[in-house]
Amino acid sequence: MSSKSYTLRWGILATGGIAKTFTTDLLVNPTTRDVHDVTHAVVAAASSTSAERARSFLSDCGAPSSAAAYGSYAELVADPNIDIIYVATPHSHHFQNAMLCLKAGKNVLCEKPLTVNAAQTKKLVATAKQKGVFLMEAVWTRFFPATKQVQQLVTEGAIGPVRRIVADFSMHSDVEKEWKDSHRLLNMDLAGGALLDLGVYPINWVFQILYHLQSSPSTSSHSTQPSSQNPLPPTVTSSMTKYAPTGCDENTTVLMTFPGYNGGSQGIATTSLRTSSETGPSVRIYGDKGEIQIDGLPCHPDNYRLITVNPGEGSVSRQPKEVRFPVPGGGKGMFYEADECARCLRDGRKESESIGWMESIAIMETMDEVRRQNGLVYPERIESAEYPLEGF
């Protein structure tokens, strides 16, 4: 590998809350997180509202004045100076907006959930394959050092065979006071509700352990299928309560059973708009030899606690190993997923090993099944896998 660092040139599609956080993180010097092989450049942003809005967005983020500001997404995807586009519109718009980018031959990092349903995700994947471009769902959780270490501990058998994972992401909102019914978290036209916005994180915690363990060589003795095969998706049982004024989900619980590992390890993902994930551990990974816990919001893990059980003594060792990973460089930690995109593109990879296309499809299929079991259907226009549709 060359000692010169590889620079990835980004275009930002939309100028809302997360677009600002991500773009500001892109501009953090990578050496502050001890990254020397890749760097990032913000070369353009587009707003569907106006070019002025895109210009003031770029300026607020601290992007260089040479960055282009567009008043439409179509202009952004036509810019030849852009290597990859970050799609940061509401979930309802991801499919149409990501298709626009892929069809123009652009690589794409698209916010979570990748789409509203699995049919749309499959179409994005087929289009990325056909165009020979990179596509990744922006589940930033997967790229934090804490996540990587927890995955490594589990794979090395630090807590023995994993039997169960319990993970929660709940918003602790005073819903009626804080949000109007038009807010994207409640609005069915924007694919609102807890499951797609927040529940996707605990579901990702379950997947990033149990889906991956099925094909991990060091745990293959626990696996019920050869490691060379694709991991098996889980069976799904779920329950949901709805927010009556709009019909979106406000409380959802998902039980996933992974038949390909330990003959059926279980993951329980919970999400709520009203309760809090911060009153105790938000992620608990249980194995025969102990447990790993994570405190705080599960989307950006900055710690873990390893608690082991003394074999044979029948007691729990109450000397947990606690590890903290403060996010360096004054950023929020979104740069870790950006670094992954840069390395994939530098190395000619079209998908990330940490969250590949089949896994994003399996996660969307899981959420489709939860919605099917509980009668949560979005307006036809945003469930559609037709492209293009007017008005996006």
Ligand X SMILES: NC(=O)C1=CN([C@@H]2O[C@H](COP(=O)(O)OP(=O)(O)OC[C@H]3O[C@@H](n4cnc5c(N)ncnc54)[C@H](OP(=O)(O)O)[C@@H]3O)[C@@H](O)[C@H]2O)C=CC1
Ligand Y SMILES: O=C1OC[C@@H](O)[C@H](O)[C@H]1O
Residues that bind ligand Y (CB under 6 A): 197, 299
Tokens of 56: 């003031």
Q: Which does 309 bind (CB under 5 to 8 A by kind): ligand Y, ligand X, none?
A: none
- Work out whether 197 is an interface residue with ligand X (CB under 6 A): yes
From ligand X, ligand Y, none, interface partner of 43 (C-beta below 5 to 8 A by class): none
CB of 225 to ligand X, least distance (A): 32
Q: Does 127 bind ligand X (CB under 6 A)?
A: no
Closer residue to ligand X in complex, CB, 53/131: 53
Q: CB-wise, 46 or 153, nearer to ligand X?
A: 46
| Token pair for 180 | 């109007």
Q: Does 25 bind ligand X (CB under 6 A)?
A: no
* 47 is a contact residue toward ligand X (CB under 6 A): yes
Contact between 340 and ligand X per CB under 6 A: no
CB hemisphere CA count around 26 (13 angstroms): 29
3-state secondary structure of 52: helix
Between 77 and 206, CB nearer to ligand Y: 206
Q: Judge residue 347's burial from the number of C-beta atoms within 10 Å of its C-beta, 0-12 exposed, 13-18 middle, 19 or more buried.
A: exposed
Q: Which residues contact 141 (CB under 8 A, 6 or more apart)?
A: 147, 201, 204, 205, 208, 298, 299, 300, 301
- Which residues, 6 or more positions from 380, have their beta carbon under 8 angstroms from its beta carbon? none
106 binds, among ligand Y, ligand X, none (CB under 5 to 8 A by kind): none
Nearest alpha carbon to residue 338 among 71, 172, 134:
134
Cα–Cα distances (Å) from 263 to 128, 155, 166, 267, 320, in that order, read 34, 17, 18, 13, 29
Site mask, ligand X, residues 258-297, x = CB under 6 A?
----------------------------------------
Task: Give residues in contact with ligand X (CB under 6 A).
Answer: 14-19, 47-49, 53, 88-91, 93, 111-112, 138, 140, 184, 190, 197, 299
